Structures are given as structure tokens and as C-alpha cells.
Amino acid sequence: MNFEFLSINLSSIVRNLNIILTNFCQVLAVFVIFIGVTKALIIFLKYLLFKPPTPEGFHKSRLAMGYSFSLGLSFLIGASILNTMISSKWDDIARLIVIIAIRTVLNYFLMQAIDNSGESASLNSKQITDLKPNIQQINS
């Protein structure tokens, strides 16, 4: 049995599979971000054209886009890990660490902005519901 041929063939299969998975993760990232931007645009336009002007539409569209950016960044981090998995060069590994660190920091701040936006939107709706009894008392 020729183990050298089997080793070379298996190595090329793993490299090709890695390329396919990396490209698939990158395509998924682009798809998720595209869907999120489209959804955010639809939400924003719906609130802009058909409802009275309030910051709620802006917040909802921003949340939809923020979630898709976060998921897209996660797919890109996965693609970077897959891309570097085959390489055994220290330069590639160092580059991966820097890329993951930057994308993780971006994702952290993005999720913080999403959480803060969600809190402010819930506070605004709570303030509106708190005002309704006062308005009813004034009208009575």
C-alpha cells in the first residue's frame, strides 16, 4: 500500500475542503449583511412614509442592521480561522490574532450599541405608557 500517495491525496482534499468552507462562510457573511441592510431599509422607509415621525423607526432599523452586522462579523471570523487553520506560518497566525481581535472589539461595541438602543427604546415606550394615565386625567 502506498501511504505517501494517500497522504498527498488526503492533504489536497483537506485544503480544497478548507477553501470551500472559507468561501462559504464569506458568502454567508455577505448574504446576512445584505439581508440585514435590506430589512433595515424597509423598516426605516415604512416608518418614514407611513407613520408619524418618531425615533422608533430609526431605532428599529438600526437594531436590525446591527444584528446582521454582528452575525456577519461572526461568519467572517470563522472564515479567517478556517483560512489560517491549514497554514502553519507564524505570520499567518499573528495576522489571524489581530483580525480576530479587531473584529471581536467591533462586535463588542456593536452589541453594546444595540443593547443601549434597545434600552432607550424600551424606556421611551415606558415613558409613553406612563403618560397615558396623566393625559386621561387631564381630559376628565
Neighbours of 40 (CB within 10 A): 21
**pLDDT at position 131:** 46
What is the rounded CA–CA span in Å between residue 27 and residue 5?
Answer: 33
Return per-residue pLDDT of the chain as tens, 140 residues. Answer: 566 666 667 778 888 898 999 999 999 999 999 999 999 999 988 888 888 877 888 888 888 888 898 899 889 888 888 888 777 678 878 888 888 888 888 888 888 887 887 666 555 555 545 544 554 555 55
Contact 30/73 with Cβ under 8 angstroms? no
**pLDDT at position 36:** 93
* Residue boundaries of the structural domains of the chain: 25-121
